[in-house]
Structure 1
């Protein structure tokens, strides 16, 4: 990765983080309000998700027509697995349950480390422990 790519990646991540803050996605109370369909539902995040899907569709459509990355011209590696298997379903369920219970997911949790570190650290610590545990289990308990 060259210096230009590094700066573009940094700027993209910063823009994403600011977008999470401005949209309310880094606020667990707002997210839980969005997920509470039977109670005091807050539909405002529907626009955020719709916008994210639109940008993603445009970005992947553009990337599908390329063979190399934009700045360092390395081979472009897009996901090609379209299988829906047990791991995908169980992972999706675990993600959804965790998001519904905590009102936060990994991206906004990293942003929350800056906004409310005292509240975010327990979630981030549990998330990192889960990453580590998955890595151990995926390797069959080896190193």
Structure 2
């Protein structure tokens, strides 16, 4: 049952991306081009997403636990550190240059959009490299003395 519900939610999300135009890289790039061919229509998409998320969170927090899980899974850290800022900058640059972020990229891949055939594998490699770089950095910063009793 959970798989069917997750599939339906993913399908609804993907359909929303298609209807809103988020799967069209030109639309994204025009939205980011403030001094050229600026397309403000995605402001309404973002406003709708914020309103839906705000409402959804308000409804969810009324419950003691999520409907399909035993507990809420929240971020364990709220620190704004160098890793977060660098990651956000790289993500934003990639989004601006490619015109895709992960959700719309995967949705566009299912529509056989030509740009995603290169973009999605490159994005996955980038995610893998970032995760491995973060793990390597963490492993280097922990000294063996920290584990001595």
**Deviation per CA, 1:89-111, whole angstroms, max 9, x where unpaired?**
11111111111111111110001
Is the partner of 1:139 in helix, strand or coil? helix
Residue 15 in structure 1 maps to residue 34 in structure 2:
no
- Size of the aligned set, in residue pairs, is 138
Matches of 1:97 and 1:135 in 2, distance apart?
18
Pick one of 98, 111, 117 that aligns with 1:115. 111
- TM-score normalised by length of structure 1: 0.88
**Deviation per CA, 1:32-62, whole angstroms, max 9, x where unpaired?**
1111111111111110000001111112222
Q: Greater CA radius of gyration, 1 or 2?
A: 2
Matches of 1:102 and 1:46 in 2, distance apart?
19
Report the equivalent of 2:86. Answer: 90
Residue 103 in structure 1 maps to residue 99 in structure 2:
yes
Residue 135 of structure 1 deviates from its aligned partner by 2.2
Residue 83 of structure 1 deviates from its aligned partner by 1.8
List runs of 5+ in structure 2 lacking aligned partners: 140-149
**1:127–1:47 Cα change, 3 Å:** same
List runs of 5+ in structure 1 lacking aligned partners: none
Counterparts of 1:1-143 in structure 2, within 5 Å, are 4-71=1-68, 73-140=69-136
Residue 117 of structure 1 deviates from its aligned partner by 4.1
Matches of 2:72 and 2:64 in 1, distance apart?
5
- TM-score normalised by length of structure 2: 0.85
Matches of 1:126 and 1:67 in 2, distance apart?
40
Residue 78 of structure 1 deviates from its aligned partner by 2.4
Instruction: State whether residues 33 and 40 of structure 1, in contact with CA within 8 Å, keep that contact through their aligned partners in structure 2.
Output: yes
Instruction: State whether residues 66 and 76 of structure 1, in contact with CA within 8 Å, keep that contact through their aligned partners in structure 2.
Output: no
